[in-house]
């Protein structure tokens, strides 16, 4: 169990605290903030898991 694993808390905080992202603006390519924020959070969370995976391998 390494300290790197605390990084894995970031996806939980970033996507489960709704006030962070329940806005229409700023919109990107016509996507309201609510939608693109959560879509972008998917690859970012994967990158975080990858970092932890690399650090632990």
Residues that bind another protein (CB under 8 A): 5, 8-9, 11-12, 15-19, 22-24, 27, 29-32, 34-35, 38-39, 41-43, 45-46, 48-50, 52-53
CB of 17 to another protein, least distance (A): 7
Residues 10/17, Cβ–Cβ less than 8 Å = no
Nearer to another protein, 3 or 43 (CB): 43
CB of 22 to another protein, least distance (A): 5
- What DSSP assignment string belongs to the chain? --GGGGGGHHHHHHHH-GGGT----S-BTTB-HHHHHHHHHHHHHHHHHHHHHHHH-
């Amino acid at each position: 169990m390494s300290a790197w694993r605390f990084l894995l808390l970031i996806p939980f905080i970033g996507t489960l605290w709704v006030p962070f992202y329940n806005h229409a603006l700023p919109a990107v390519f016509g996507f309201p903030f609510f939608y693109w924020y959560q879509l972008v959070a998917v690859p970012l969370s994967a990158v975080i898991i990858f970092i932890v995976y690399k650090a632990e391998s």
